[in-house]
Structure 1
Amino acid sequence: MDTSSAGGLTGRHRRWMYRGGRPNWLARLMNRFAARQFSVGLAPPNWMTLEVPGRRTGRTVEVPVVVADHEGEQFLVSMLGEDANWVRNVRAAGGRAVLRHGRREQVRLDEVPVAQRAPILRRYLALAPGARAHLPVDRHAPVTEFAAIAARFPVFRITPDPRPPDPPAGGAEAH
């Protein structure tokens, strides 16, 4: 049983909270609380809130994230893989978003090619205890094991972007 997760939750509980790759009611509640906490800076510096316009409504969606540093750059990783709502919203917004940790920073999120993801995924697991239940590799595993799963977990390079994100038009939003 994984007891290394933050907040006293085991890996089994974390998987239950995100069964099917979507947050259940408890995960949504905890994510809302964490997003508020991270956005005002009441967390380690690399724990932030991602703000991105919803791809259907244009309403701002807030998601707590862990920023991984690797070789002088910063990255976001989707612990839930390709189908995470924030990944779809970032793609629909052309990579334009906001990161908050005490202050707002307009950023551009550019997807990292699969061949370059493995060492970033490894670094991410070292920094994000809550994600360890979702990636099927031990955080101490060799980079080759991360390469085997890299195509399943999107990674985005963070760069400053002085332009605000453009909200998309129409429809209903699901978190």
Structure 2
Amino acid sequence: MLTAMPDTFQKESTLDRFFNRLMGRALRLGFAPAYMRLLEVRGRKSGRTFTTPVNILDFNGRRWLVAARGETAWARNARAAGHIVLRRGSRAESLMVREIADADKPEVIKAFLDRFASQVQRFFDVPAGSPVDAFRATASRTPVFELIAGA
């Protein structure tokens, strides 16, 4: 039985898939912006390892992973697994992930959008630079994970 994607997911376009493959290759070689990593996470149903390029946010002394598209497969898999691997070139970092409560998300989502607006603004109804309170409505449909060393 097929189930519909949640309303909070924004499907990748053909151009997005091409760009993600290109960035994935660049990240495997170690060539990409410093904030980007290749996320590896085990599938919660298949057990296969899936990869996708992601932007890592350094904010308030912590590292964050935000699913700008909404309830993505990698976010569901990371939630289920409780840990991920971030790669860049030959370097791999195994991390635990802790999803934060909706009440704690607005400040992190705002920082993420302000930092990466040119790449992710299209996934948010709220424009970059808006006050923190403007992000309360989007918090429930945007998975946000704190990255914790020691997985």
TM-score when scaled to structure 1? 0.75
Aligned residue among 85, 90, 96 for 1:98: 85
Equivalent residues of 1:96, 1:161 under 8 A apart: no
Aligned residue among 150, 163, 166 for 2:139: 150
Equivalent residues of 1:77, 1:124 under 8 A apart: yes
Shift of 1:44: 2.0
What is the aligned partner in structure 2 of residue 127 from structure 1? 115
What is the aligned partner in structure 1 of residue 51 from structure 2? 62
Report matched runs for 1:42-121 at 5 Å. Answer: 42-82=31-71, 84-93=72-81, 95-102=82-89, 103-121=91-109
Please identify runs of 4+ aligned residues in structure 1 that moved more than 3 A: none
Equivalent residues of 2:10, 2:123 under 8 A apart: no
- Percent identity of equivalent pairs: 35
Shift of 1:158: 0.3
Report matched runs for 1:12-31 at 5 Å. Answer: 21-31=10-20
CA RMSD of aligned residues (A): 1.5
- The gaps in structure 1 that reach 5 residues or longer are 1-19, 163-175
Shift of 1:24: 3.5
Report matched runs for 1:135-146 at 5 Å. Answer: 135-146=124-135
Output the CA distance in 2 between the equivalents of 1:36 and 1:66.
15
Q: Specify the code of the residue in structure 2 equivalent to 1:113.
A: A
Q: Secondary structure at the match of 1:153?
A: coil
Q: Secondary structure at the match of 2:119?
A: helix
Shift of 1:131: 0.9
> Can you list the C-alpha shifts for 1:26-68, whole angstroms capped at 9, x where unaligned?
3223212212213433122211111001222222111111111
Which moves more between the two structures, 100-109 or 37-46?
37-46
Shift of 1:77: 0.4
Q: Secondary structure at the match of 1:56?
A: coil
Output the CA distance in 1 between the equivalents of 2:100 and 2:20.
25
